[in-house]
């Protein structure tokens, strides 16, 4: 695809294919990508038979009347890695994409409020989502599979779809006990349900799937939640709970610097001995996913002080995906810190693959080695070696560094 | 210890005071002393301090004599949840006994709820020693709006006291904003400039505190000096006051 349209890259970075900020009726960034990956083996089929991990996608178009899509790859066996972000991290991006795009979806129209008292088909989809998996499934379609793939900033990719005529499920592996328990508890609110699942070791990826099919929460308030909203909702709610605990922990004793370089991305994490402050910044190179036509690197940054923030960060879901990873790291060492997270994205990385990419990379980074420093200046000198943007630019944009270096304590005036 | 009981005539106002304190702290100890109800605490990062006095005269009911000061340690999140039950026209009664705080909301019907008292290490705090060179009494609503304007642009704000008035400004790559409180202007009620001053403060602290406290009083007294903390005082009826002290940022 050749383009002569020049779009302000700041628009694309804020839009990420969601809001048509550029004014075109389609997102040229996504359009180009979609044509790249064709799926010959499933295209044109009117039924698919395979083991679903289980996978379900909930669309957002037409909300509150949405499409729910149970999905399966056309193969049998243990397909659960298709729903395991930890595995995705170690896959080549091309393999990850093609395996996810093999998840063929059958669409079912539903009102989001149907979740609390579902019609038979929606009920079966919910039961499928609750199962530990894999679930042997047969999807029969009204017409041959075609339609759009899902390539999205928030959700991991999904394959093409067709309206579902019939869903046949073989005997299901039962849900893990804790999942069955919160599903059956009609008085447990969604936020407590998420926390119960999380504390029992269920990953946020799976919790967001459960939230999206409307099986969590006080029964009369259960509803379907579009997949992309459910992902950020879970990252936010769980990390808020983690933060409640982290605020009670003592400060770390030193400055810690973490670095992770992977596939044209550099992630930097700095933990500073200060009460909770947090920032997430992304620097998009011209030619990277959300800055395809720009001439300059564009930095977007969002932050919060000790008390968190009430409004949605302009940068979107990545903010919370990185925040939960940072708070998990602090929880695991039972320490409090101010957290700086920066990411540089170079031109070779031009795929939107979902916020899991940020969450899993930041998690992996904090599990890896770190360097210790006694002051912020030394920490920044060290960091500058790994970044392509001059450290002075990063410093001038950083909220947390300004607070660390410039903010004085009131105790200086208490005469002790 | 025998039980101690106080009643404040305006529950709504009381809850707004609590709300304003909670902008800086999660938990703290009130002290009930013979001259009134007090609280002084630092925020967790020790950047700011809150200082409250509600004099005994402001209460409808207050112990005649107190053999010793009574400490009332509360978690403000829990306290606020309970205060959400307040109805217009309610009075609020508080009773300390046996490790509990019994809160009575007195209206058409009277409702009693209890909170566990928490033990918070007593930290005797002096107020900051600062010679302020500026004193400005301004409309609290206007100050709140000015800070919110600045918050759109930046994370810190500059206070400049000049001969012709108080300037509040912020700038970043997103733009610039400047609000002027003119000496003898409509929203400036008193202006005492000993010498011009300039200082920078974090909007995190200013916005959180002022956006809550401006409901307590229409007028806020702003005091600061170059590179020194700022004091923001909101008056409470009968001579009470709520003051925030916020440390400056280095320019």
CATH number, residue A96: 2.40.50
Choose the final residue of a domain: A219, A246, A273: A246
> Which residues on B lie below 8 Å from A411 (Cβ)?
42, 46
Q: CB distance from A111 to chain B under 8 Å? A: no
Residues A200 and A320 grouped into a single domain? no
Give the C-alpha separation, B192 to A28, whole Å: 60
Give the C-alpha separation, A407 to B74, whole Å: 28
Shortest distance, CA B61 to any CA of chain A (angstroms): 34
Burial of B103 (0-12, 13-18, 19+ CB in 10 A): buried
Q: Which of A274, A306, A407 sits opposite B247 (nearest CB)?
A: A407
Let me know if residue A17 belongs to a domain. Answer: no
SS3 B40: strand
**Minimum CA–CA partner of A303 in chain B:** B155
Interface test with B, best of A302, A311, A398, A407 (most B CBs within 10 A): A407
Q: Which of B129, B247, B251 sits opposite A415 (nearest CB)?
A: B129
Choose the final residue of a domain: A199, A220, A246: A246
Let me know if residue A274 belongs to a domain. Answer: yes
Provide the number of structural domains found in chain A: 3
Residues A279 and A393 grouped into a single domain? yes
Residues A270 and A339 grouped into a single domain? yes
**Minimum CA–CA partner of A305 in chain B:** B204
Q: Check residue B121 and report its DSSP letter.
A: -
Choose the final residue of a domain: A169, A197, A231: A169
Give the C-alpha separation, A246 to A25, whole Å: 45
Residues A82 and A205 grouped into a single domain? no
Residues A332 and A376 grouped into a single domain? yes
Q: What is the ipTM of this complex?
A: 0.91
From first to last of the 416 residues of chain A, give the pLDDT tens digit.
333 346 777 778 777 777 667 655 456 566 556 545 546 667 778 899 999 999 999 999 999 999 999 999 888 999 999 999 999 998 877 677 778 888 899 999 999 999 999 999 999 999 999 999 899 999 999 998 876 777 788 888 888 889 999 999 988 899 999 999 999 999 999 999 999 999 999 999 999 999 999 999 999 999 999 999 999 999 999 999 999 999 999 999 999 999 999 988 999 999 999 999 999 999 998 877 777 777 788 899 999 999 998 788 877 899 999 999 999 999 999 999 999 999 999 876 767 888 999 999 999 999 999 999 999 999 999 999 999 999 999 999 999 999 999 999 999 999 85
Q: Which of B126, B202, B208 sits opposite A403 (nearest CB)?
A: B202
> Which residues on A lie below 8 Å from B128 (Cβ)?
410, 413-414
Q: CB distance from A16 to chain B under 8 Å? A: no
Residues A264 and A240 grouped into a single domain? no
Return the bridge partners of A163, or none.
Answer: A107
Residues A211 and A164 grouped into a single domain? no
Residues A235 and A288 grouped into a single domain? no
Give the C-alpha separation, A27 to B98, whole Å: 65
Q: Check residue B184 and report its DSSP letter.
A: T
Question: Interior CA angle at A209 toward A205 and A215, to 5°?
Answer: 135
Q: Which of A156, A202, A205, A154 is nearest to A180 (CA)?
A: A202
Return the bridge partners of A270, or none.
Answer: A257, A340
**Minimum CA–CA partner of B27 in chain A:** A248
Residues A266 and A387 grouped into a single domain? yes
Q: Which domain holds residue A228?
A: 177-246
> Which residues on B lie below 8 Å from A403 (Cβ)?
202, 204
> Which residues on A lie below 8 Å from B251 (Cβ)?
406
A182 within 8 A of A125, measured Cβ to Cβ: no
Residues A60 and A138 grouped into a single domain? yes
């Amino acid at each position: 695809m050749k383009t002569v349209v020049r779009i302000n890259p700041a628009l694309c970075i804020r839009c990420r294919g969601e809001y048509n900020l550029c004014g075109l009726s389609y997102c040229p960034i996504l359009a180009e990508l979609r044509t790249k990956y064709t799926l010959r083996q499933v295209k044109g089929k009117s039924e698919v038979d395979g083991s679903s991990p289980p996978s379900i996608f909930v669309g957002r178009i037409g909300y509150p009347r949405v499409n729910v899509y149970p999905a399966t790859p056309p193969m049998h066996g243990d397909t659960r890695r298709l729903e395991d972000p930890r595995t995705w991290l170690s896959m080549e991006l091309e393999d990850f994409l093609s395996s996810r795009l093999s998840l063929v979806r059958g669409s079912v129209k539903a009102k989001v409020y149907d979740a609390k008292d579902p019609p038979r088909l929606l009920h079966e989809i919910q039961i499928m989502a609750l199962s530990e998996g894999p679930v042997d499934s047969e999807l029969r379609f009204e017409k041959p599979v075609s339609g759009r793939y899902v390539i999205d900033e928030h959700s991991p990719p999904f394959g093409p779809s067709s309206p579902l005529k019939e869903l046949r499920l073989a005997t299901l592996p039962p849900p893990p006990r804790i999942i069955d328990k919160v599903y059956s508890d009609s008085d447990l609110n969604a936020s407590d349900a998420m926390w119960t699942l999380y504390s029992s070791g269920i990953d946020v990826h799976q919790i967001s799937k459960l939230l999206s099919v409307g099986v969590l929460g006080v029964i009369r308030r259960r509803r379907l939640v579009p997949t992309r909203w459910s992902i950020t909702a879970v990252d936010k709610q769980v990390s808020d709970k983690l933060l409640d605990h982290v605020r009670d922990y003592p400060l770390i004793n030193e400055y810690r610097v973490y670095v992770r370089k992977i596939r044209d991305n550099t992630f930097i994490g700095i933990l500073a001995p200060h009460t909770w402050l947090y920032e997430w910044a992304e620097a998009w190179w011209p030619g990277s996913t959300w800055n395809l036509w720009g001439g300059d690197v564009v930095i977007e940054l969002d932050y919060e002080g000790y008390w968190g923030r009430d409004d949605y960060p302009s940068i979107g879901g990545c903010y919370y995906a990185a925040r939960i990873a940072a708070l998990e790291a602090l929880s695991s060492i039972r320490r409090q810190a101010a957290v700086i997270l920066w990411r540089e994205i170079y031109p070779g990385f031009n795929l939107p693959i979902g916020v899991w990419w940020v969450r899993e990379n930041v998690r992996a980074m904090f599990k890896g080695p770190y360097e210790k420093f006694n002051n912020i200046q030394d920490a920044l000198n060290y960091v500058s070696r790994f970044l392509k943007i001059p450290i002075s630019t990063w410093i001038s944009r950083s909220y947390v560094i300004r607070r660390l270096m410039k903010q004085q304590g009131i105790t200086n005036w208490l005469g002790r | 210890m025998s039980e101690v009981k106080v009643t404040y005539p305006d529950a709504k106002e009381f809850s707004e005071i609590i709300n304003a304190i909670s902008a800086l702290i999660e938990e703290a100890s009130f002290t009930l002393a013979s001259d009134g109800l007090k609280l002084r605490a630092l925020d967790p990062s020790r950047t700011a301090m809150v200082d409250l006095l509600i004099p005994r005269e402001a209460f409808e009911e207050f112990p005649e004599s107190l053999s010793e000061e009574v400490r009332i340690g509360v978690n403000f999140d829990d306290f606020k949840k309970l205060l959400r039950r307040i109805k217009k026209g309610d009075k609020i009664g508080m009773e300390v006994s046996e490790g509990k705080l019994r809160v009575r909301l007195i209206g058409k019907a009277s409702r009693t709820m209890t909170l566990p008292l928490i033990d918070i290490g007593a930290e005797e705090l002096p107020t900051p020693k600062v010679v302020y060179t500026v004193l400005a009494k301004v409309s609290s609503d206007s100050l709140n709006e000015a800070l919110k304007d600045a918050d759109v642009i930046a994370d810190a704000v500059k206070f400049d006291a000049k001969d012709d008035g108080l300037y509040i400004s912020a700038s970043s790559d997103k733009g610039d904003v400047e609000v002027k409180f003119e000496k003898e202007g409509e929203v400036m009620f008193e202006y005492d400039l000993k010498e011009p001053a300039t200082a920078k403060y974090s909007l995190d602290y200013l916005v959180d505190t002022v956006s809550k406290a401006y409901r307590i009083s229409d007028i806020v007294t702003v005091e600061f000096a170059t590179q020194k903390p700022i004091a923001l005082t909101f008056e409470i009826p009968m001579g009470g006051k709520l003051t925030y002290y916020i440390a400056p940022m280095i320019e």
